[in-house]
Amino acid sequence: MARSKRLLALALAAPLLLSACSTENSGGGDEGGDGGGTAASGDLDFAVVTHGAAGDAFWDVVQNGAEAAGEDLGVGVDYQSDGDPQRQSQLIEAAVNQDVDGIVVSMANPDALEDSISAATEAGIPVVTINSGAERSAEFGAIGHVGQDETIAGIGAGQRLAQDGATNVLCVVHEAGNIGLEQRCDGASQGLGSDVQLLQVDINDLQAAQSTITSQLQSNPSIDAVLTLNSAVASVAASAAADAGSDAAIATFDLNADVISAIQDGTISFAVDQQQYEQGYLPIVMLKLYAENLNTVGGGQAVLTGPGIVDAENVDEIADLASAGTR
């Protein structure tokens, strides 16, 4: 009899328990549908402000990553980009005025952005820096940095060039004042074991850049390798070598479809890949975790997305991913 009474009590209680669970769950999810998030998570809006030029293949992939993260996590992502440091600073200030829930910013020129980033952190808006300026990130109050250590990447490139037999390397800088590019060339010197030659060109005038590289190769036939720091510049460097009748090997930082094809046909020997899709995607994850749970990532150190080497051995595996806009 005692056992029968216990079973009857459980049978009577079950509908009440199920009703309580259903009531709790019906309003507990967020409108973004990310499952398990707070009700407010669907209302989070993040701004991404980078220094890349509009239509640049590298920054297009960063944008793809940021916007994909926004869709996956059910948060708003507004991506804007401007290569002029003053304009970039104004875009950050506009995001602060809009009272966004977080800002992602690349810092190719940290000094020019210090005031606007400080305005964000003083307003209580968390900032994650990406790509450039890692050494100033914590100083400016950012909660984290995602990117590639440019010196380490440069060392890797220099070591690979040395392994391939290069001894006299031309390092082509395409943005004046970009500290990350300077670090790449400095690192390449360390990895190579001797100083690389610096050559300044303007990425906004690729035809002129090609002519400048051609002239340098013609005037100094001892140059046996050209290291470019941008995928678009790599393509014109390969053409410049052909124009100059130079046998200099061409290597580059970063990928695009042309670089992948050139690696496949042997025109470019290798590319240093920093997986920029992650530089767009991961900061949105970090900002959402911080907004909802005060989580930080990296323990005060940069979250590294590279470097990796793409060459003839693995380029075919990367090609399909690059065509999809994720590499």
Rounded Cα–Cα distance for residues 22 and 109 (Å):
53
Confidence at 36, pLDDT banded by 50, 70, 90: very low
The helix (H) or strand (E) run that includes residue 106 is: strand 102-106
Give yes or no for residue 317 having a pLDDT over 90: yes
Q: Tell me which of 16-20, 90-94, 133-137, 153-157 is least confident.
A: 16-20
Q: pLDDT by residue (tens digit) across 68-112?
A: 999 999 999 999 999 999 999 999 999 999 999 999 999 999 999
What's the whole-model pTM score? 0.76
In the prediction, which pLDDT does 56 show?
85
* Residues in contact with 113: Cβ distance below 8 Å, sequence separation at least 6, in sequence order: 85, 88, 89, 92, 105, 107, 133, 140
Give yes or no for residue 54 having a pLDDT over 80: no
| Parts of the chain belonging to CATH 3.40.50.2300 | 39-148+276-296, 150-273
Q: pLDDT by residue (tens digit) across 193-213?
A: 999 999 999 999 999 999 999
In the prediction, which pLDDT does 126 show?
98
In the prediction, which pLDDT does 248 show?
98
CA–chain centroid gap for 254, Å, is 11
Query: By the 8 A CB rule, do 107 and 129 touch?
Result: yes
Give yes or no for residue 4 having a pLDDT over 50: no
Tell me what the mean pLDDT of segment 273-294 comes to: 97
φ, ψ for residue 266, nearest 5 deg: 90, 5
CATH topology classification for 39-148+276-296:
Rossmann fold (3.40.50)
Task: Output the average pLDDT for the chain.
Answer: 88
In the prediction, which pLDDT does 42 show?
54
Give yes or no for residue 28 having a pLDDT over 70: no
Domain 150-273 has what CATH class? alpha beta
Query: By the 8 A CB rule, do 93 and 117 touch?
Result: no
Could you tell me which residue, 31 or 281, shows the higher pLDDT? 281
Tell me what the mean pLDDT of segment 242-264 comes to: 96
What proportion of the chain, given as a percentage, has pLDDT over 70?
Answer: 87
Rounded Cα–Cα distance for residues 200 and 156 (Å):
22
Tell which residue, 247, 270, 245, has the closest CA to residue 259. 270
Q: Which amino acid is at 319?
A: A
Give yes or no for residue 3 having a pLDDT over 60: no
Tell which residue, 250, 252, 185, 241, has the closest CA to residue 216. 241
In the prediction, which pLDDT does 158 show?
98
Give yes or no for residue 133 having a pLDDT over 50: yes
Tell me what the mean pLDDT of segment 132-160 comes to: 96
Confidence at 52, pLDDT banded by 50, 70, 90: confident
In the prediction, which pLDDT does 7 show?
36
Tell me what the mean pLDDT of segment 276-303 comes to: 97
